[in-house]
Amino acid sequence: MDSLSGRTAFVTGGANGIGLAIACALASWGVSVAVADLDEPALRRAEAELSTVTRARSYRLDVRDRQRYAEVADTVEAELGPVSIVVNNAGILDSVSPARMDHTLWDYVMGVNANGVYNGLQAFVPRMIERGLGGHIVNTASAAGLFVDGQSLLYRSGFLYHASKFAVVGLSESLRVELAHHGIGVSVLCPGPVATDGLDNARRLRPADAPERSAKVETILAAAQNMVRDQGVQPSVVGELVVDAIIHNRPYILTAADNAAPIRARMEALLDAVPTDRLE
């Protein structure tokens, strides 16, 4: 993108953590910013903070609610102007052991992490294409959408979470190809550990009828949250990386140097599985 100044961005999960950091980074470049979240007190704080830098609005939104999403999209564009930067950042870190799997938690995790991204695309991409003014989309996946590392607490996120984030990576890669001729770039954010309270929020928002986590899963998640707080990069760093990716239309945004080894191992395993001769 030649210039960010004067554009309008919409950021889900924008009241805290990575989402707020992205919104702040965009605001510093002269972008008007709309943030959406479920946390109303945090939304008010975020709007107040962003308004000291740029034009800003906040909206309560459950990204699974398609009708509400369409209403918010209309309101954002009426109040701040056409949205040309969409950051589908809202997500939830939750899973369950295979022995306790059920449809409730599958629908919840996929509903937020995968369907929530699609709902953001549906709300804004057709408008962006029709205007013909280009733009950029950032979809937040996770390093857990690139590999599974059973040896590391930080990357043992459970099959539900991995499935939802792999879906976001595939969606982003394919959409990038299909939107290129419209002048719309697509980046997928695959953060490693970031110093946020994401796991605590997951506990607070978990559906009441979801199956209880086993003691083993709870221990893994608690240890992972402690490690994230101690070892995670600051959200502000991620925000700057996202702005850089938007400006330069980078396909991937990663935050952790130690991701290289498991990504390489996965790629090598895939290459080893490719037949050397045509199968008959």
Catalytic site residue 155?
no
From the list 34, 10, 19, 57, the residue with the least C-alpha distance to 197 is 19
pLDDT digits (tens, 9 = 90+) for 153-198: 666 678 899 999 999 999 999 999 999 999 999 999 999 989 887 6
- Among residues 69, 108, 118, 161, the one annotated as catalytic is 161
Which CATH number is correct for 8-273, 3.30.200.20, 3.20.20.20, 3.10.129.10, 3.40.50.720? 3.40.50.720
> Which H or E run contains 130?
helix 116-131
* pLDDT at site 153: 60
User: Other C-beta atoms within 10 Å of 216: how many?
Assistant: 9
CA-based nearest residue to 87, from 150, 131, 23, 1: 23
What three-state secondary structure class fits 98?
helix
What does the pLDDT look like over 74-94, one tens digit per residue? 999 999 999 999 999 999 988
**Hey, where are the domains in the chain?**
8-273
DSSP symbol at 113? I
